[in-house]
Chains A and B, each alone.
Chain A
Amino acid sequence: MSSDKYAQMSKREIYQILPTNLGAGVFAPSRNGLSQMIFELPQLPAIMNGKSLRINGTFTLKQGNGNAPTNGTNFLKENPTGDIFIDSRTGVLSCFETLTIGSLRGTTYSSIKNYNRLMSSVLPLNESTQNYLNGVDTHYGCLSKDVSTAKKCDRSFDFSVPLNCGYLQGQPINMWITQGHRITITLAQDSFVIHNNKQRNGNSSAGKSNGGAYYELSDVTISFEVDLPDDEGQNAIRSMTKGQMTYNSYSSFYNVIVSNDHNLSLLFNTAKTISVIGNMIPSEWVNNYDYDSSRTQQLLYDDATGELQNGVQIDSYTYTIGGVRVGYDFEIDSSVSQENGTIDAVKNEIELNAIREGWSAGNFIKSIQTELSNPFGSNGFQPRFDRSRYAIVGEDKFQHYNIGLSYDHITEIGQDCRTRPFALRIQSTLPEGKTLNPHSLYLFVLHQNTIVFDNGSVSVLS
């Protein structure tokens, strides 16, 4: 059958599928134990548009006593109550801790741990503030500004989020030969998703009261569109027994930085490694109602009040594979720019290349204002942007600090890291008398996978 005939005869269909473990219809990990959402997409003689796939539902945020937050009336008060909200740059996606996509027969095609942390790096580069305020808010439930996102959390809202992963965002998916799909999403802890407004106001503590604030996801469905051919076309798809499919996937790694000369070595075990991106956050901020667990800060040290507010001067990053500097045969030196409080153009370019070129999903715009220009260093000055007195119409200025490098965004062959360990050295300078608090480093390795289908057997080569 010619492709023209397919074009004439196929039709768009929408599938909506309920989770197989629906329970009472509400996913509230800390209250009813339903911490996984499992969706089973049937084997169909049709072609799925993975980009159209959405997780739809209703998000509700509650204080520990079950009451709704009251950000609209309290967010900027001196002694606020009920001021709890979610991350303003990842929104509902901050609830998705692990995303696994496999076939109904058990083969795993893609598994991303700390998916919400990956989205912390990707989404603010994928969407501009204009988008956040004009459409992204309907889908992800966040508006890029904390005060606006907090207001939205006062009442339930509907969401319809796409799943940003290479498997779905790449080429159209043959729903027959891939043997159906099981999509499993593990939900994050309440204290990861929800936080107080403590960074602006030390009096903010509503998240911790009455056993802790919690969230609920209800009326959840998955939806996707397929192109369904006519009977002849469906039979042709059913008769396919051999084939292969190539797609990009992220693998995740976790590390803790405890030294100002940090070395890590990891064996990715990936043949076609395209890029590595990562982000950091003080470990005590993760799963802590007082802090936004989705922040992407550089290393921080404590100020006079004991809060982690001041930036540690980052001196350099050195990347190696198998002991050889690969990607960049030099250290990425940040010391001068960090000391002067200027934008770190070299690091920024490298970080953006790693994400922009490594991620095939969309067009990234670095638009959200950050604190990269703040005066870091040992002088302990107040950061230039005062978070406690809040610009109502301005953008939020929280750091969006990513690290990473791209090995090959042209041919997508990349580096073979099956037998050559990846290593990263991060050198930084702490002011005298200061010690480095533990920082969590999340690394995401983008690599190319190939699935080979052969008479019912499926093998994934990475």
Chain B
Amino acid sequence: MMNATPDVLKVGALKRPENQRLETDIIDPVVFTQKSARFVFPKSGILSSDSQLHISQIVKNSAFPGVDTNAFYPTSTGALAMIQRAYLTIGGKRVSDQQSTGSWNTWKRLHFSNDYKERVSTPKQAGNDVFMGSASDAIAPASADAIRSRGFGAPYGQLGRRSSEYCSIFNSATNAGKQNAAFTAVSDKQKRLITADENTTPAFMISLSQLIPALVGVNLPLFAIKEEVALVIEFAPDTYGERFMWNSRDTAGNNLITADNYKKSKSTIVEKDLFLLCDYLFYDQLLEEMEDVIMNKGGYNLTFDDLIVQQTSRQFATGAYTNDIQIPLASRKVKSVVVQKQRTVNKDATLATNSSVYNSTELHLGCEYQLKIDSKNMYSLPVRNRGFQKSEADQVEGVPLVLCDYLYTWKNQVDPVTGVIPVDGEGITERQANSHLQSTEIATQNWIGVKLDNAYGEGVRVSNQPLIYTEKGTSVAADQVGGVTERTYRVFSVVQKVMNISSGLVMVVE
């Protein structure tokens, strides 16, 4: 019979007080290039899953060398945009692997409360995605209407990031106090903008549990693993829209949209800023007992959730469409499926958006979806209602997605036949954030999620047949911004795995 997992390997409060001590080490990478880095952990204590990766980047534009570009981190992704993939190896074998790290962590971050985003995530990892302000686009000319609306013009009742109630001019002696729409623009704080200098660019911290799915809720007993334990990080492409999002003006006032100069910005990961801050936990008495169990008494089985990512692309010509996506998960225990529908044009000037490529953009007329498991439909009716779609997505993580309806769906903002936004139809304001219209973010976080595990957290054991995710809908001309008809579908499947730690060796047994 397998031994029960000890509490010290789980994340959370212990049932009773234990003698413990904590040591923190800084670990530099053993291998570093602009493509990837590799860290090797010492065999010391129990690795806290809340250990942190310290990371920064600089951005230089070859058209204006030496000038800070005002580049910023994608709004709901933050510093995780710098990483494309992370995986944990033990004895050279991949134990847990997270691909599309930026996109997956965007989904995760959308579940954080606004308080947490403002007080923890944003200072620690950048980003700027708290939509709490009611707003309006324009300034109204002096009139009785303007008195009643405090100087703002229609449309009334839009949402946006917090910005000025009065949009008053403050940098002109002659016009001081007058209202001006330009003064409603917001931007990331200066201290979080990426500079061109290694010494001034801000550095951020990423928790290991954000990079390695196996470490969510699990502390790794490094002291009892004989093999080499290593973390490998692959960086995202160094171009605009991937590691960073561009601002239309640099600090010298140059317009980077002119001649597509924004495309000349390149990122460099700062080597001196890249290190791990590892916390090792020591429970002197317990470690001896655990070592005995691991070495001599069969060891432990640690259950964890891992991520399988599948990517494909689809073209959307105008008219009705049906997209079937097969998800091969042969005989695995599946807990949930999350679908991203990425629109990459959001990084370009055509539709520059604060979230950049880390989006899941709904088609203007929405879609209905169905998931087929072993030839049986998950839903008795395809899910078409946007509110129900979000309710289902909310079930996946057990906490709701914290985002306003206007960021989730086009419905309520477009003509139900043509998909065109009528005058004053947008629910998100046109006030700018980091020089881009906030209204470009409408419906960019339309993540589809299906929870499969039961009330006890046990996933569904699927057969050799692939899951089939089907979307049906109608694509309209409004979906083809800049003539781009392609969307990247990315399916994240959360599967249950078991890691056996025994005799100092680690094996993933399922």
Chain A residues close to B by CB (< 8 Å): 6-8, 10-12, 14-16, 47, 49, 52, 54, 56-58, 71-78, 129-130, 133-135, 137-139, 143, 145, 147-152, 154-161, 172, 200-201, 219, 221, 223, 225, 227, 388-394
A156, B422: Cα distance in complex, Å: 13
Asked if residues A148 and B157 are in contact (CB atoms below 8 Å), the reply is yes
Query: Nearest A residue to B333 by beta-carbon distance?
Result: A8
Query: Given A151-B155, A151-B156, are A392 and B387 neighbors across the interface (CB < 8 Å)?
Result: no
A147 and B453 CA atoms in complex are apart in Å by: 40
Would A221 and B385 count as touching, CB distance under 8 A? yes
CB neighbors of A among B382-413 (8 A): 384-388, 390-392, 394-395, 400-405, 408-409, 411-413
Chain B positions within 8 Å of A393 at CB level: 133-135, 162-163, 165
Chain A residue with Cβ nearest B453: A12
Contacts of B215 in A (CB 8 A): none
Nearest chain B residue, comparing its CB with the CB of A137: B405
Is the beta-carbon distance between B416 and A56 smaller than 8 angstroms? no
Which 9 pairs of residues, A with B, have the shortest CB-CB distance?
A160-B387, A151-B157, A7-B456, A76-B149, A78-B144, A157-B412, A147-B157, A72-B155, A158-B386
Nearest CB of chain B from residue A198's CB, rounded to whole Å: 14
User: Which residue of A54, A56, A390 contacts B149 across the interface (Cβ within 8 Å)?
Assistant: A390
Contact of B455 among A12, A56, A71 (CB under 8 A): A12
Complex interface: chain B residues within 8 A of A392 (CB): 134-136, 149-150, 152, 156, 165
- Interface stretch of the complex, out of B310-318, B357-365, B373-381: B373-381
B114 contacts A by Cβ under 8 Å: yes
**Digit string of B422-441 for contact with A (CB within 8 Å is 1, else 0)?**
01110100000000000000
Query: Could you tell me if B134 and A145 are in contact, using CB atoms closer than 8 angstroms?
Result: yes
Name the one of A6, A134, A388 contacting B402, with C-beta atoms under 8 angstroms: A134
Q: Check if B460 is an interface residue, CB within 8 A of chain A.
A: yes
In the complex, the answer to whether B455 meets A157 with C-beta atoms within 8 Å is: no
Q: Which residues of A contact B39 (CB under 8 A)?
A: none
Interface residue from B147, B381, B387 paired with A158 (Cβ < 8 Å): B387
Cβ of B159 under 8 Å from chain A: yes
A151 and B158 contacting across the interface, CB-CB below 8 Å: yes
* Chain B residues with CB below 8 A from A8, complex form: 458
Q: When the two chains form their complex, are residues B455 and A47 in contact, meaning their CB atoms are under 8 A apart?
A: yes
Contact B380 A138 (CB under 8 A): no
CA distance A58 to B404 in the complex (A): 17
Pick the contact of A12: B384, B394, B451 (CB < 8 A): B451
B145 contacts A10, C-beta separation under 8 Å: no
A151 to B405 CA separation, bound complex (whole angstroms): 12
In angstroms, Cα B442 to Cα A439, docked, is: 43
- Contact check, A159 vs B148: say whether CB atoms are below 8 A apart: no
The verdict on B115 contacting chain A, using a C-beta distance below 8 Å, is yes
Q: Which residues of B contact A157 (CB under 8 A)?
A: 405, 411-412
- Type the 1/0 row for B252-281, where 1 means its CB is closer than 8 Å to any CB of A: 000000000000000000000000000000
Nearest-neighbour CB distance to chain A for B425, whole angstroms, equals 7
Let me know if A155 and B458 touch, CB within 8 A. no
Check B157–A72 contact: CB distance below 8 A: yes
In the assembled complex, 7 residue pairs joining A and B whose CB atoms fall closer than 8 Å, in A order, are A12-B455, A47-B455, A57-B385, A130-B402, A148-B159, A158-B387, A391-B165
Q: Which residues of B contact A58 (CB under 8 A)?
A: 385
Task: Using A389-B150, A392-B134, A392-B152 as known contacts, say yes or no to A75 and B157 having CB atoms under 8 A apart.
Answer: yes
Residues of B within 8 A of A (CB): 113-115, 131-136, 143-145, 147-150, 152, 154-159, 162-163, 165, 378-381, 384-388, 390-392, 394-395, 400-405, 408-409, 411-413, 416, 423-425, 427, 451-456, 458, 460
With a cutoff of 8 Å between Cβ atoms, the chain A residues found around residue B135 in the complex are 392-393
Q: What residues on A are CB-neighbors of B150 within 8 Å?
A: 389-392
Please measure, in the bound complex, the distance between the C-alpha atom of A389 and the C-alpha atom of B165, giving whole angstroms: 13
CA gap between A219 and B383 in the complex, in Å: 12
A12 to B149, CA, bound (A): 50
Query: Could you say which residues of chain B place their CB within 8 Å of the CB of A161?
Result: 387
Measured in the bound complex, the distance between the Cα atoms of B148 and A77 in whole Å is 7
Most chain B CB within a 10 A radius of its CB, from A219, A388, A392 = A392
A156-B416, A158-B411, A227-B455 known; A71 vs B157 contact (CB < 8 Å): yes
Complex Cα distance A242/B490, Å?
49
Minimal Cβ-Cβ distance residue in B for A152: B412
What is the CA–CA distance of A145 and B158 in the complex, to the nearest angstrom? 11
Closest to B113 in A: A130
Report if A10-B159 is in contact (Cβ < 8 Å); known contacts: A130-B115, A219-B385: no
Q: Which residues of B contact A72 (CB under 8 A)?
A: 154-157, 424-425
| Contact in complex: A76, B145 (CB < 8 Å) | yes
Given A135-B400, A389-B150: A77 in contact with B390 (beta carbons within 8 A):
no
Asked whether A133 and B159 contact (CB < 8 A) given A158-B385, A160-B387, A223-B388, the answer is yes
Q: Which residue of B lies closest to A139 (CB)?
A: B387
Give the Cβ gap from B487 to chain A, nearest Cβ, in Å: 22
Shortest Cβ distance from A159 into chain B, in angstroms?
5
A134 to B387, CA, bound (A): 13
State how many angstroms separate the Cβ of B383 from the closest Cβ of chain A.
8
Q: In the complex the two chains form, is B388's CB within 8 Å of A76's CB?
A: no
Task: Return the contact of B145 from the options A77, A133, A391 (Cβ within 8 A).
Answer: A77
CB pair B157 A159 closer than 8 Å: no
Shortest CB-to-CB span from A25 to chain B, Å, is 13
A130 lies within 8 A of B427 (CB): no
Q: Within the complex, what minimum Cβ distance (angstroms) separates B47 from chain A? A: 29
**Is B134 a contact partner of A147 (Cβ separation < 8 A)?**
yes
Say yes or no: B403 contacts A135, CB within 8 Å: yes
* Complex Cα–Cα for A26 and B292 (A): 68
- In the complex, are the beta carbons of A16 and B379 less than 8 A apart? yes
Alpha-carbon distance between A58 and B366 when the two chains are bound, in angstroms = 14
Q: Are B395 and A138 in contact (CB under 8 A)?
A: no
Question: In the complex the two chains form, what is the Cα distance from A154 to B412 in whole Å?
Answer: 8
CB neighbours (8 Å) of B411 from chain A are: 156-158
Task: Tell me whether A137 and B114 are in contact (CB under 8 A).
Answer: no
**Interchain nearest-CB distance for B493 vs A (Å):** 15
Task: Give bound CA distance, A201 to B145, whole Å.
Answer: 11
Chain A min CB distance to B370 (Å): 11
Known: A72-B157, A72-B424. A156 touches B412 (CB 8 A): yes
When distances are taken between beta carbons in the complex, the residues of chain B under 8 Å from A74 are 154
Distance of A448 Cα from B427 Cα, bound (Å)? 43
**Cα(A58)–Cα(B400), bound, Å:** 21
Supposing A16-B379, A72-B156, A78-B148 touch, asked if A134 and B114 sit within 8 A by C-beta, the answer is yes
Whole-angstrom CA separation of A290 from B354 in the bound complex: 41
Interface residue from B149, B155, B381, B404 paired with A135 (Cβ < 8 Å) = B404
Closest chain B residue, CB of each to CB of A7: B456
How far is it, in angstroms, between the C-alpha of A133 and the C-alpha of B425 when the chains are bound?
18
B contact residues around A130 at 8 Å (CB): 113-115, 132, 402
In the bound complex, CA of A150 to CA of B143 (Å): 22
Q: Contact partner of A15 among B155, B380, B412, CB < 8 A? A: B380
Does B145 contact A151, Cβ atoms closer than 8 Å? no
Decide: A7 and B147 in contact? CB cutoff 8 A.
Answer: no
- Which residue from chain B places its CB closest to the CB of A150 in the assembled complex? B157
Query: Most chain-A CB neighbours within 10 Å: which of B114, B150, B381, B405?
Result: B405
B446 to chain A, nearest CB (A): 11
* A54 near B148: Cβ-Cβ < 8 Å: no
B361 nearest CB across to chain A (Å):
17
Closest CB of chain B to A42's CB: distance in Å?
12
B460, A11: Cβ atoms under 8 Å? yes
**A75-B156 contact, Cβ under 8 Å, with A12-B455, A54-B388, A130-B114:** yes
Write the nearest CB–CB distance from B158 to chain A, whole angstroms: 7
Most buried by B among A11, A76, A201, A388: A76
Please report the C-alpha to C-alpha distance between residue A135 and residue B155 in the assembled complex, in whole angstroms: 22
Decide if A73 touches B424 in the complex (CB within 8 Å).
yes
Partner of B385 from A56, A148, A172 at Cβ < 8 Å: A56
Cβ contacts under 8 Å, B162 to chain A: 393
For A149, the chain B residues whose CB sits under 8 A away are 157
- What is the bound-complex CA distance between A143 and B378, given in angstroms? 32
Q: B454, A389: Cβ atoms under 8 Å?
A: no
In the complex, what's the smallest C-beta–C-beta distance from A172 to chain B, in angstroms?
7
Chain B residues with CB below 8 A from A10, complex form: 454-456, 458
